[in-house]
């Protein structure tokens, strides 16, 4: 839309009314509970948002399925496990190299199966007579061709319906091979209400079949796991660079640029650092219960957030030399970040953003926008739960509905030989007193300005209305949303795959992001949309030749 | 090496597909449905299907792809998806207000046995489908055929709404098959030049190559209208371009409404375009204007000017049956040699047809339907080619084996132009040759030793 048009200031409550206006009453009632005006919380109970509930059929949702969350998100980035999809061809095809999770597995010695798309390509006869035989044969063929250390099998919708026992097949093949860990995920697309169920299923199986199986002892001094970081656009590379510079060893990333051995060794870390709370908090909890590894929430998106997270890790280990080294790294890195921020600031200050992504990015990226002097008008998640909005204190009160009840909760107990509490209860409380909070996530809402609008499971219609009404300077979501937003003349940044950019994590990532947003919100293209004859259509009937 | 685990030795696989040269039916149905004016495609299945298809089509076209989903849950998978679809239809007409909803099924709804016609009827009976609005449906089980089959099934569902008036309308139906929006535009341009009044369906031009103007509309200007689709029953004939993509719909109109049909190859390259134009002027009863003959002559001129660079160059082509058949014929006609031909789509007829087309080839030809790119790569490792023609996924093979690649087919995720520059017709033929020539000569320039580096080609 042309910049010249007058921007009408809408009140948040009117925006909400506008968003709901077009819906049939039943739909409007449900959506009303998923749209929250982030009001001041003093003297009243914090506002509640409805999340992790079914999308209404017919609504053009941003969400995907359980298979996408399991195979695509969590298991996709691991390079040396053969991912074999049991189902018709499509599911495997669409998840083939489309997610920009980068991998450093070059060189002939390293295994890298990410470039391969494998499927049992089920045919109608397999649907009718069952696909277990074909699955077993496919596992055998994959084993014969590649001799991988592990094969992971993923179920698609029809597999659950026809009752193929993929776990039995996997177990049988594992026993047959002896040197290949074959295991399976019941991640049929219809389970749960979004990708989120798939994350949970993936967490459970990785924890059950991989974690704790490594016999190689890791002897480094400051050992952490980085949970919920997927190395999109190389984010994980940048975080690893910083950690290494600080002298911190990253035992396992779940699951950006990960390997089988990383997962298998995760029990040897002394601290779990959770990036994306939504997708991986289950593993963090299980690592604590079974092995005694505490977890803290970190955020490496934003230069200040990165510095803060590094300080938290140093604080946990409580070693002055580590703290000094961390401070040294921050001092070294910050000047170049600040220089670029200062450069773009005059062009980004006061600009307005909207973000509707994932289960953590809509929160994390607020840091970067703040650093650039930008304001977030509205934000929300695609597949989060209430705790991601309101904080983990709501967990005991969460209602478990039918869709969540179907997702297995695995019961974990302290490992008889490997359980070792990394910190005593006293040490933990003393750290808590100093401000280091364990198992704590305060959620998105407290970080949003008062009067901003928080929307869960935003859809195509609401996105379009929001942009028309509030006219942000930039809108962030995923590939499906990108071009309808840009047709309206509003730059759109993908915060799932980052378009072509990244990394945006850590210090170098912050620099990249400042420059990218500067490019987007100040691009000349948005001034080229109208032809001269459209801008002033009523020419007088005179020709002016000179 | 990105595909370094691919062994040179070819072993038989009976169960494992690796690096497929096809995807599943529903995405084809979604693409076809976008070629109806004012249509919202609807995926009757899990959310993920719809999300994946929209993402893939968006990445290919860099355009908004709107489509809705029945958002199946575990409950609907057990009890059937009827309630979901009824609610979806009601929601869609209330919120997005399309002229028509084109529903396609998925492996999920097919496996549980949802009866689409029955649910659609119920939707009308219960008033979910408002007066004057249309809902069509195609059965597109993902475990049968490929994306091409899904496209064909949706095109047939489009033909299914044709209504005879008892009076011929003098128009010719052209079913273009799975080609790009610009190809559909080109077919319309050629038909207008020949003076034949046509109904093109589906027609994604003006839908998936729309301008950036500052306004967003879910239903852009383009697409075949419902009125035009209804009128298909009154046409004087149908030309179906591509056996796999278009024949079913054409045969349906022939059987049901006595609209005679002719099944042709897709008009890629000289000879297939010749046959298309000849058939069009015959059924339309018109004369081909000189401008078209001149365009043809330009293509022949190009072939003759640059023949030395094409002659006996070995090519691997991978993609969909209709496109490959015409491409193989075109390559043979300029004395290039398609030596490896692979489609993921099943069909013995395909293998037979390619063998016929390439029987004069000086080199042995490997052809496989229901093959995959892993096999193609193995063939190339055993005996390399000068050029690969296929979709974006071929770039991993091209890089590993250091072979030039022309992106042609679906999906193209990393380059632009396919939605704007047609490859059908004579002008499209010139475009293909330009791409081939540039690829081969760029390679020549890159690799030539200094003493052999030349200014003029």
pLDDT tens-digit series, residues B408-438 = 999 999 999 999 999 999 999 999 999 999 9
Q: What is the pLDDT of residue A406?
A: 87
**Residue A290: inside a domain, yes or no?**
yes
**Residue A36: inside a domain, yes or no?**
no
Based on the fold, state whether residues A202 and A155 are members of the same structural domain: yes
**Residue among A172, A204, A174 nearest A66 (CA):** A204
**Residue A46: inside a domain, yes or no?**
no
Q: Which of residues 516-535 of A touch B (CB under 8 A)?
A: 529-530
Q: Say which of A99, A100, A200, A385 is annotated catalytic.
A: A99
Mean pLDDT of B45-74: 98
Mutation site, B16, B21, B82, B105, interface A, largest A CB count within 10 A: B16
Domain count, chain A: 2
Which chain B residue has its CA at the smallest distance from A83's CA?
A: B18
Which contiguous run of DSSP H or E holds residue A355?
A: strand A352-356
Domain of A407 in residue numbering reads as 212-348+392-440+501-523
Task: For chain B, list the domains and their CATH numbers.
Answer: 25-159 (3.40.50.1980), 172-290 (3.40.50.1980), 292-451 (3.40.50.1980)
Between chain A and chain B, how many beta carbons pairs sit less than 8 Å apart? 268
Which chain B residue has its CA at the smallest distance from A62's CA?
A: B51
Give the whole-angstrom CA distance, residue A283 versus residue A245. Answer: 27
Based on the fold, state whether residues A201 and A222 are members of the same structural domain: no
Please check the confidence at residue A5 and state whether its pLDDT lies above 80: no
Q: Say which of A31, A51, A63, A68 is annotated catalytic.
A: A68
Q: What is the pLDDT of residue A3?
A: 45
End-to-end CA distance of chain A: 33
Q: What is the pLDDT of residue A52?
A: 97
Whether A99 sits among the annotated catalytic residues: the reply is yes
**Residue A23: inside a domain, yes or no?**
no
Domain stops at, among A209, A228, A259: A209
Mean pLDDT of A118-136: 98
Domain stops at, among A166, A190, A209: A209
Q: Name the residue facing A93 among B3, B15, B23 (closest C-beta).
A: B23
Return the structure tokens found at B389.
């023609």
Based on the fold, state whether residues A85 and A199 are members of the same structural domain: yes
**Residue A28: inside a domain, yes or no?**
no
Give the confidence band of A158 by pLDDT, cuts at 50, 70, 90: very high
Q: From the CB of residue A59, how many other CB atoms can be counted at a distance below 10 Å?
A: 27
Q: What is the pLDDT of residue A43?
A: 65
Q: What is the pLDDT of residue A534?
A: 87
Based on the fold, state whether residues A166 and A237 are members of the same structural domain: no
Give the whole-angstrom CA distance, residue A346 versus residue A373. Answer: 9
**Residue A52: inside a domain, yes or no?**
no
Mean pLDDT of B66-93: 96
Q: Say which of A31, A63, A65, A384 is annotated catalytic.
A: A65
Based on the fold, state whether residues A76 and A93 are members of the same structural domain: yes
Please check the confidence at residue A8 and state whether its pLDDT lies above 90: no
Give the model confidence (pLDDT) of A205-242 as tens digits. Answer: 999 999 999 999 999 999 999 999 999 999 999 999 99
Q: From the CB of residue A395, how many other CB atoms can be counted at a distance below 10 Å?
A: 14
Residues of A with Cβ-Cβ distance to B67 under 8 angstroms: 60
Q: Is residue A539 less than 8 Å (CB to CB) from chain B?
A: no
Based on the fold, state whether residues A233 and A280 are members of the same structural domain: yes
Instruction: Give the minimum alpha-carbon distance from A522 to chain B in angstroms, rounded to a whole number.
Output: 16
Please check the confidence at residue A540 and state whether its pLDDT lies above 90: no
SS3 A522: coil
What single string gives the DSSP state of each residue in B198-222? EEESS--TTTSS----S---SS-S-
Give the whole-angstrom CA distance, residue A479 versus residue A492. Answer: 9
Give the model confidence (pLDDT) of B142-163 as tens digits. Answer: 999 999 999 999 999 999 999 9
Which chain B residue has its CA at the smallest distance from A103's CA?
A: B2
Based on the fold, state whether residues A196 and A344 are members of the same structural domain: no
**Residue A235: inside a domain, yes or no?**
yes
Q: What is the pLDDT of residue A535?
A: 83
Based on the fold, state whether residues A134 and A246 are members of the same structural domain: no
Give the confidence band of A546 by pLDDT, cuts at 50, 70, 90: low
Instruction: Give the minimum alpha-carbon distance from A295 to chain B in angstroms, rounded to a whole number.
Output: 32
Please check the confidence at residue A435 and state whether its pLDDT lies above 70: yes
Q: Which of residues 187-246 of A touch B (CB under 8 A)?
A: 189-194
Mutation site, A24, A58, A497, interface B, largest B CB count within 10 A: A58
Sign of CA dihedral A505, A39, A195, A413: positive
Q: Name the residue facing B73 among A27, A90, A193 (closest C-beta).
A: A193
CB contact under 8 A, A68 and B13: no
Mutation site, B214, B218, B400, B413, interface A, largest A CB count within 10 A: B214
Q: What is the pLDDT of residue A42?
A: 64
Q: Which of residues 257-286 of A touch B (CB under 8 A)?
A: none
Q: What is the CATH number of the domain that holds A101?
A: 3.40.50.1980
Give the model confidence (pLDDT) of A9-61 as tens digits. Answer: 789 999 999 999 999 999 999 999 999 999 865 667 668 999 999 999 999 99
Q: Is residue A137 less than 8 Å (CB to CB) from chain B?
A: yes
Based on the fold, state whether residues A268 and A190 are members of the same structural domain: no
Domain stops at, among A209, A237, A260: A209
**Residue among A105, A101, A148, A141 nearest A121 (CA):** A141
Give the whole-angstrom CA distance, residue A503 versus residue A490. Answer: 23
Instruction: Give the minimum alpha-carbon distance from A489 to chain B in angstroms, rounded to a whole number.
Output: 5
Q: Name the residue facing B20 among A93, A127, A192 (closest C-beta).
A: A93
Q: What is the pLDDT of residue A4?
A: 44
For residue A380, list its beta bridge partners: A356
Would you give the distance in Å from CA B251 to the centre of its chain? 19
Based on the fold, state whether residues A134 and A264 are members of the same structural domain: no
Give the confidence band of A1 by pLDDT, cuts at 50, 70, 90: very low
Q: What is the pLDDT of residue B175?
A: 98
SS3 B262: strand
Give the confidence band of A541 by pLDDT, cuts at 50, 70, 90: low
Q: Is residue A168 less than 8 Å (CB to CB) from chain B?
A: no
Largest CA distance in chain A: 93
Based on the fold, state whether residues A432 and A331 are members of the same structural domain: yes
Q: Name the residue facing B91 among A57, A117, A485 (closest C-beta).
A: A57
Based on the fold, state whether residues A434 and A291 are members of the same structural domain: yes
Please check the confidence at residue B216 and state whether its pLDDT lies above 60: yes
Please check the confidence at residue B387 and state whether its pLDDT lies above 60: yes
Q: Name the residue facing A57 among B24, B65, B70 (closest C-beta).
A: B70
**Residue A288: inside a domain, yes or no?**
yes
Whether A363 sits among the annotated catalytic residues: the reply is no
Count CA within 13 A, CB hemisphere, residue A444. Answer: 37
SS3 A108: coil
Instruction: Give the minimum alpha-carbon distance from A64 to chain B in angstroms, rounded to a whole number.
Output: 4
């Amino acid at each position: 839309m042309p910049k010249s048009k007058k921007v009408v200031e809408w009140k948040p409550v009117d925006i909400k009314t506008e968003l709901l206006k077009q819906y049939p009453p039943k739909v409007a009632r449900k959506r009303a509970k998923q749209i929250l005006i982030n009001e001041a919380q003093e003297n009243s109970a914090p506002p509640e948002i409805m999340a992790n509930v079914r999308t209404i059929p017919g609504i053009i949702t941003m969400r995907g399925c359980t298979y996408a969350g399991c195979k695509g998100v969590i298991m996709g980035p691991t390079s040396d496990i053969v991912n074999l999809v049991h189902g018709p061809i499509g599911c495997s095809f669409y998840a083939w190299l489309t997610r920009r999770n980068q991998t450093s597995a070059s060189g002939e010695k390293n295994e890298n199966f990410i470039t391969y798309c494998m499927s049992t390509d089920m045919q109608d006869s397999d649907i009718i007579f069952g696909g277990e035989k074909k699955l077993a044969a496919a596992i055998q063929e994959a084993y014969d061709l590649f001799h991988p250390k592990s094969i992971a099998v993923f179920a698609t919708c029809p597999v659950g319906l026809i009752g193929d026992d993929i776990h039995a097949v996997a177990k049988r093949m594992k026993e047959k091979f002896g040197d290949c860990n074959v295991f399976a995920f019941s991640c049929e697309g219809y389970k749960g209400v979004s990708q989120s169920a798939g994350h949970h299923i993936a967490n459970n199986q990785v924890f059950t079949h991989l974690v704790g199986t490594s016999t190689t002892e890791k002897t480094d001094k400051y050992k952490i796991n980085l949970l919920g970081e997927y190395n999109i656009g190389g984010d994980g590379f940048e975080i690893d660079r910083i950690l290494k510079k600080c002298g911190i060893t990253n035992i396992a990333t779940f699951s950006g640029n990960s390997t089988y051995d990383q997962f298998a060794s995760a029990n040897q870390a002394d601290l779990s650092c959770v990036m994306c709370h939504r997708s991986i908090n289950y593993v963090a909890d299980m690592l604590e219960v079974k092995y005694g590894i505490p977890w803290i929430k970190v955020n490496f998106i934003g230069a200040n957030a990165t510095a803060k997270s590094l300080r938290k890790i140093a604080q946990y280990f409580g070693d002055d030399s580590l703290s000094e080294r961390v401070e040294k790294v921050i001092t070294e890195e910050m000047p170049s970040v600040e220089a670029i921020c200062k450069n773009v600031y005059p062009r980004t200050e006061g600009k307005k953003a909207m973000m509707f992504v994932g289960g953590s990015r809509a929160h994390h990226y607020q840091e970067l926008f703040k650093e650039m002097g930008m304001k977030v008008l509205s934000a929300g998640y695609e597949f989060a739960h209430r705790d991601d909005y309101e904080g983990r204190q709501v967990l005991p009160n969460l209602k478990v509905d039918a869709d969540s009840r179907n997702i297995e909760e695995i019961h974990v107990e302290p490992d008889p030989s490997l359980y070792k509490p990394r910190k005593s209860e006293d040490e933990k409380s003393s750290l808590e007193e100093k401000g280091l909070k364990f198992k704590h996530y305060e959620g998105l809402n407290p970080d949003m300005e008062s009067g901003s609008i928080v929307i869960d499971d935003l859809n195509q219609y609401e996105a379009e209305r929001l942009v028309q009404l509030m006219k942000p300077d930039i809108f962030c979501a995923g590939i499906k949303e990108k071009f309808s937003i840009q047709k309206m003349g509003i730059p759109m940044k993908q915060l799932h795959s980052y378009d072509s950019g990244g990394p945006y994590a850590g210090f170098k990532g912050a620099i990249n992001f400042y420059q990218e947003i500067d490019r987007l919100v100040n691009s000349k293209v948005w001034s080229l949309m109208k032809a001269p004859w459209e801008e002033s259509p009523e020419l007088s009937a005179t020709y002016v030749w000179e | 090496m990105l595909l370094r685990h691919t062994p040179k030795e070819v072993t038989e696989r009976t169960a494992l597909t690796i690096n497929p040269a096809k995807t599943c039916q529903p995405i084809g149905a979604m693409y076809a449905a976008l070629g109806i004016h004012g249509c919202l495609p609807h995926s009757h299945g899990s959310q993920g299907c719809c999300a994946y298809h929209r993402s893939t089509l968006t990445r290919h076209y860099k355009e908004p792809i709107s489509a809705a989903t029945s958002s199946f849950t575990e409950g609907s998978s057990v009890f059937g998806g009827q309630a979901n679809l009824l609610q979806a239809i009601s929601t869609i007409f209330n919120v997005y207000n399309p002229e028509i909803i084109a529903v396609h099924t998925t492996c999920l709804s097919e496996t549980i046995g949802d009866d689409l016609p029955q649910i659609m009827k119920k939707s009308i009976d219960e008033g979910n489908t408002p007066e004057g609005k249309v809902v069509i449906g195609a059965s597109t089980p993902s475990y049968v055929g490929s994306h091409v089959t899904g496209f064909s099934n949706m095109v047939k569902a489009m033909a299914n709404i044709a209504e005879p008036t008892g009076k011929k309308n003098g128009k010719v139906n052209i079913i273009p098959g799975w080609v790009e929006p610009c190809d559909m535009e080109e077919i319309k341009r050629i038909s207008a030049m020949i003076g034949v009044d046509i109904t093109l369906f589906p027609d994604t031009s003006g839908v998936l190559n729309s301008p950036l103007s500052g306004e967003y509309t879910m239903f852009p200007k383009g697409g075949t209208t419902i009125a035009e689709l209804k009128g298909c029953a009154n046409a004087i004939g149908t030309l179906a371009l591509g056996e796999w993509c278009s024949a079913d719909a054409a045969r349906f109109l022939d059987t049901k409404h006595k609209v005679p049909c002719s099944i042709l190859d897709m008009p890629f390259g000289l000879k297939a375009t010749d046959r298309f134009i000849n058939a069009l002027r015959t059924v339309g009863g018109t004369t081909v204007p000189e401008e078209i003959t001149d365009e043809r002559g330009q293509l022949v001129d190009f072939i003759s000017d640059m023949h030395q660079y094409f002659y006996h160059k070995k090519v691997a082509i991978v993609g969909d049956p209709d496109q490959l058949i015409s491409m193989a014929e075109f390559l043979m006609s300029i004395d290039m040699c398609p030596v490896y031909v692979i489609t993921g789509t099943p069909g013995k007829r395909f293998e037979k047809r390619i063998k016929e087309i390439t029987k004069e080839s000086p080199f042995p030809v490997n052809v496989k339907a229901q093959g995959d790119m892993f096999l193609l790569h193995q063939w190339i490792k055993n005996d390399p080619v000068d050029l690969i023609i296929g979709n974006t996924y071929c770039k991993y093979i091209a890089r590993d084996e250091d072979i030039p690649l022309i992106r042609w087919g679906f999906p193209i995720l990393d380059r632009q132009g396919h939605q704007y520059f047609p490859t059908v017709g004579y002008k499209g033929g010139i475009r293909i040759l330009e791409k081939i020539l540039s690829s081969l000569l760029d390679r020549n320039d890159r690799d030539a030793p200094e003493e052999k580096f030349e200014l003029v080609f």
